[in-house]
Structure 1
Amino acid sequence: MSSPSPSPSPSSVPNSPNSSVGDTEGAVPNSPNSSVGDTEGAVPNSPNSSVGDTEGAVPNSPNSSVGDTEGAVPNSPNSSVGDTEGAVPNSPNSSVGDTEGAVPNSPNSSVGDTEGAVPNPPNSSVGDAGGSVADLAFPVDDARRVVTGALDEDLGGTEGVDVTTMATIPASQQTRAAVVAREDGVVAGVEVIALTLAEVAERLGAEPVSVTSVIADGTRVARGDVVAELSGSTQVTLIAERTLLNIISRLSGIATHTRRWADVLDGSGAMVLDTRKTTPGLRALEKFAVRAGGGTNKRMGLHDVAMIKDNHKLAAGSLAAAYAAVREAFPEVPVQVEVTTTEEALESVTAGARFLLCDNMSTDLLRSTVEAVRATGESVELEATGGLTLDVAADYAATGVDYLSVGGLTHSSPILDLALDLRP
């Protein structure tokens, strides 16, 4: 079995925009979801916090002054979004250009079955035997689509205007502003800030607003921490304000909730998975937020992984029949089978299933099912699902399952309170 295990939480992250300068032994490079310090909302090494236990931290922290950025190193946390030729696509503060499909800091090879799976990649997708697909790219195309639709909704169409801002703010007026955290949490979707401002500027025919990202996706923040600095048109900034805050607050709320689960499961050998219970139209972004929070994507939709559930079993006559039908029709597609008893689990393994969803089982039943499946000698991954909460997460992880799937990561996470404040 090759299920990846969670990264250890105490290590700080090299190249993390909120780490401090210190020793870097054992740090995980470019890991946006390694846990820093204590769990529930603790934010060591945030840009505005004092420096405490910072072993493994790295230079280029956002505590350096953020002003003129000529000559700034692309992909550093204080480079502005403007003339950033050569910057790494999809870095938290790189300019938003032709970055579709770019995958920074990630192996470009596709990982199929278990061999070569990336250990705990922050956005891996779980297949039928624990295979992972490493793809660290922010979903830029999906984000642009969401931003465009949200602005159309807010402005009353592509030709619509913000009647208040256009009436009260001269087109020539410039401002400085900051996106600020109003509470502790984990940030996700930082690139949405620049995307939204760029779209509004294009609609107005205005100069782009400069965006300096201070916090990277997956970073813990404390109340008062600055996520991004803005400089440019006041009109553009105010028109974009609510749209960019709605999206990044939603994504950051998901990342924050996911991080709580990842922290509870840290060291248990189990990982937290999301589900398809996402907001229509926002799936790619919400699943990105799960990855930023330290979780793992289960499947992106109905097309990439087959999941045999109770209704499929009833329609096909049995779990074995349903599994055989899927294998015949789509031999290359990973298959997951939902089971509710130990007998169903063993039936599925005998049929060839190598990934089982153990639905709504008690911890005692789940433990005995795991033991029975392991006793077959087959390499099978097991997932606990159904009404799981943080209070029982450790108990379910202790049964020996590989994963806990939690629909609430995407359907019930409260937003992270963020604000956009104009500066004098």
Structure 2
Amino acid sequence: MDKEIIHKFIVNALSEDVGDGDHTSLSTIEAGTQGKAKLLVKDTGILAGVELALEIFREVDPNLKVTVFLNDGAEVKPKDIALEVEGDAQAILKAERLVLNCMQRMSGIATTTHQIVDLLKGTNTKVLDTRKTTPGLRYLEKWAVRIGGGVNHRFGLYDMILIKDNHVDYSGGIRQAIENANKYLADTGKKLAIEIEVRNLEELEQVLQTGNVNRILIDNFNFDQLRQAVAMIQGRYITEASGGITIDNIRDYADCGVDYVSVGALTHSVKSLDLSLKAVKL
């Protein structure tokens, strides 16, 4: 966990939610009232965001006492209790929605990722996330992918060179794009991996003739073409398949022999896991 990123996120999220005060709690609950609440699981899946919840409670009120019963990555079912928090009732309610919003979203992502990881058992293929994330929540969403057993692709535009179809077209072709990328790295002294997307076997052949890349993204190939592409590459480069990959067909893609499959739906189309925070009388 990158505490600097997490701290900035929590401060911004609380500012968005609380504004100049939680006036409902301030107006109805006497200052200093002590309370306890338990975080209830209402769905089946993989729990994620517990470590983040601890940071949120700590930011809202360092005096809140949190007891964790289930950790990140735990398989959960309805009626499970993930954690209990005790202390100032107003502080508990101030933190409530942010904790739930984050944990529900992260747990949904971890659950979907875990389902895919299970489907890939027995193959050498791993599932990757993408940059198709919610603005401002990328760190949390990619964290949830890891909790679910998946692998993070690049975090942003700055930590890898990924030459996609538009880059190829704008630069004048496969060879020119690869040569431009390598020259840029030589000129700047940056140490970045280069991945290039291919749309057909002809483009793949151009990449193989040019070389000087680390990974090949095989996009929107059917299964026969994908198997042929893997055979052409012969293990010389890391292979990644993308485009139209779902839970229903991901095992078929893996059986074609690619190293990775990337699934944007891990972070852009998941169903949140149902959780709630319920007050407990002291």
After TM superposition, the score normalised by the length of structure 2 is 0.94
Work out whether 1:405 is the aligned partner of 2:243: no
1:150 aligned residue (13, 16, 19): 13
Which residue identity does 1:419 align to in structure 2?
Answer: S
1:340 aligned residue (185, 188, 199): 199
Matched residues in 1 for 2:104 and 2:6: separation? 14
Matched residues in 2 for 1:400 and 1:335: separation? 21
Matched residues in 2 for 1:318 and 1:393: separation? 30
Matched residues in 1 for 2:93 and 2:170: separation? 54
Instruction: Name 1:224's counterpart in structure 2.
Output: 79
The 5 A counterparts of 1:149-188 are: 149-156=12-19, 160-188=20-48
Structure 1 residue 349, shift from structure 2 partner? 2.2
Instruction: Name 2:142's counterpart in structure 1.
Output: 287
2:160 aligned residue (305, 310, 313): 305
The 5 A counterparts of 1:345-384 are: 345-352=204-211, 353-374=213-234, 379-384=236-241
SS across alignment from 1:404 = strand
**Native 8 Å contact 1:211 1:231 kept in 2:** yes
**Native 8 Å contact 1:342 1:372 kept in 2:** no
**Native 8 Å contact 2:193 2:214 kept in 1:** no
Residues 226-254 of structure 1, C-alpha deviation per residue, up to 9 Å, x if partnerless? 11111111111111111111111111111
SS across alignment from 2:203 = helix
Matched residues in 1 for 2:8 and 2:269: separation? 23
Instruction: Name 1:423's counterpart in structure 2.
Output: 280
Q: Which runs of 5+ in 1 are unaligned?
A: 1-137, 202-206
Structure 1 residue 143, shift from structure 2 partner? 2.1
> Number of residue pairs matched?
276
SS across alignment from 1:177 = strand
Instruction: Name 1:92's counterpart in structure 2.
Output: none
Which residue identity does 1:372 align to in structure 2?
Answer: M
- Shifted more, 208-217 versus 294-303: the winner is 208-217
Instruction: Name 1:34's counterpart in structure 2.
Output: none
Which residue identity does 2:9 align to in structure 1?
Answer: V
Which residue identity does 2:13 align to in structure 1?
Answer: A
Structure 1 residue 154, shift from structure 2 partner? 1.3
Work out whether 1:326 is the aligned partner of 2:181: yes
SS across alignment from 2:248 = helix
Matched residues in 1 for 2:14 and 2:153: separation? 30
Residues 189-231 of structure 1, C-alpha deviation per residue, up to 9 Å, x if partnerless? 1122222222222xxxxx6110112222122111111111111
Matched residues in 2 for 1:227 and 1:272: separation? 27
Q: Which runs of 5+ in 2 are unaligned?
A: none
More strand by share: 2
**Native 8 Å contact 1:142 1:285 kept in 2:** no
**Native 8 Å contact 1:382 1:401 kept in 2:** yes
SS across alignment from 1:256 = helix
Matched residues in 2 for 1:220 and 1:350: separation? 47
SS across alignment from 2:36 = strand
Work out whether 1:265 is the aligned partner of 2:117: no
Structure 1 residue 339, shift from structure 2 partner? 0.4
Instruction: Name 2:106's counterpart in structure 1.
Output: 251
Matched residues in 2 for 1:169 and 1:290: separation? 38
The 5 A counterparts of 1:49-198 are: 138-156=1-19, 160-198=20-58
Structure 1 residue 173, shift from structure 2 partner? 1.3
**Native 8 Å contact 1:342 1:365 kept in 2:** yes
SS across alignment from 2:122 = coil
Which residue identity does 1:171 align to in structure 2?
Answer: A
Instruction: Name 1:215's counterpart in structure 2.
Output: 70
Matched residues in 1 for 2:18 and 2:238: separation? 48
Structure 1 residue 257, shift from structure 2 partner? 1.0
Matched residues in 2 for 1:287 and 1:345: separation? 29
Matched residues in 2 for 1:275 and 1:320: separation? 25
Which residue identity does 1:189 align to in structure 2?
Answer: G
Matched residues in 2 for 1:309 and 1:326: separation? 12
Higher relative contact order (CA 8 A, sep 6+): 2
After TM superposition, the score normalised by the length of structure 1 is 0.63
SS across alignment from 2:154 = coil
Residues 39-86 of structure 1, C-alpha deviation per residue, up to 9 Å, x if partnerless? xxxxxxxxxxxxxxxxxxxxxxxxxxxxxxxxxxxxxxxxxxxxxxxx
SS across alignment from 1:415 = coil
**Native 8 Å contact 1:139 1:284 kept in 2:** no
Structure 1 residue 385, shift from structure 2 partner? 0.2
